[in-house]
Amino acid sequence: MPELPDLIVYMDALVRQVVGRRVERIVVRSPFVLRSVEPPLEVVSGLAVATVDRVGKRLVLGFEPDLFLVIHLMIAGRLRWVPREGGPPAKMPPPKLVLAVIELEHGALVFTEAGSKKRASMRMVRGREGVRALDPGGLEPLAATIEEFHEALVRQNHTLKRALTDPHLFSGIGNAYSDEILHAAKLSPLKLTRSLAVEDCMRLHAATRTTLQAWIDRLREQTGDRFPEKVTAFRPEMAVHGRFRKPCPVCAAPVQRIIYADNECNYCARCQTGGRVLADRSMSRLLKDDWPRSLDDL
């Protein structure tokens, strides 16, 4: 799922491409994508995009007077810009991937989703209160003071991994960047929030800000003035996320992982858990006493 750094880069591109430009029509190609009927999509035909904003992991296109198109990419949803004739050459994505097309006077914003689960969505809402109703309420991590960060963190006694990825606690952080943040903070993903020492909380707060900002800067530099094409949770420059068994860039120990549900958590045992290999719900139960407890056992 695109997270805060990717969404910021999307917003940059949308500001460049669509703000001030008139929408001709919105064509829905998949009935599953539209999650609202009132107001209808047709109300923005002929209107110019006035603003681009973000609510949690949702992108919001604003129109006057007081209309908002809210796009939730979920896991596999993506946006692609296809200019009209005369612009840089671009091909439309395969029709089976296209959920909707926002046709503007100078090109098309194509909303796609890979896979068959159809989780991505868009809805039209009237008034900012309608947008606020979609906000999970998580704290903006780049703007949070250490006091606000600590209050959100200890509101419930969760693991650090779960707390960072809870949209009701922190806005825009998902599976990928939580791994990177915890590695930078040198903290175990399974450490409980209410067991954090003051210095651990301060380190986590600093790591959250520096990691997210560093990735925003990196993705902006890589994208330049283009519309972002490669939006992925797996990047070669990442320290631990998606790098199971590859060497940690800090200590060269092999990156470990915990698999749960549809996700996995990646971490460095030497940097984050004092050399202890965390139990994997499936494999540790299968191997029982043969499960390796440390890097030395591996």
Tens digit of pLDDT for each residue in 106-162? 999 999 999 878 899 999 999 999 999 999 999 999 999 999 999 999 999 999 999
pLDDT of residue 259: 87
pLDDT at 298: 54
The Cα-based distances of 16 to 226, 227, 294 in angstroms read 9, 9, 50
| CATH class of residue range 146-290 | mainly alpha
Write down the pTM of the prediction: 0.91
Assigned superfamily of 4-132 = MutM-like, N-terminal (3.20.190.10)
Long-range contacts made by residues 190-193, C-beta under 8 angstroms, separation at least 24? 190/159, 190/160, 190/161, 190/258, 190/278, 191/159, 191/160, 192/157, 192/158, 192/159, 192/160, 193/153, 193/154, 193/156, 193/157, 193/158, 193/159, 193/160, 193/163
Residue ranges of the chain assigned to CATH 3.20.190.10: 4-132
- Identify which has the larger pLDDT, 175 or 89: 175
pLDDT of residue 115: 82
Extended beta strands in the chain, E state: 23-28, 49-55, 58-63, 67-72, 77-83, 98-104, 107-113, 121-126, 256-260, 263-267
Confidence band of 264 (pLDDT split at 50, 70, 90): confident
User: pLDDT value at position 286?
Assistant: 41
Say which residue the tokens 């209808």 belong to. Answer: 40
Range list for CATH 1.10.8.50 in the chain: 146-290
pLDDT band at 284 (very low <50, low <70, confident <90, very high): very low
Q: Write out the two tokens for 129.
A: 């209160």
pLDDT digits (tens, 9 = 90+) for 272-282: 999 999 986 55
Cis bond before residue 40 (omega within 30° of 0): no
What pLDDT does 290 receive?
A: 45
Quote the CA–CA distance of 128 and 66 in Å, as a whole number.
Answer: 7
Which pLDDT value is given to residue 230?
A: 87
- State the pLDDT at residue 84: 83
According to the model, what pLDDT value does residue 187 have?
Answer: 98
CA proximity to 297, closest of 285, 115, 284? 284
Residue 289 DSSP label: G
> Phi/psi class of residue 97: alpha, beta or left (left: φ > 0; alpha: ψ in -120 to 50)?
alpha
For residues 162 and 221, is the Cβ–Cβ distance under 8 A? no
Q: Check pLDDT > 80 for residue 288.
A: no
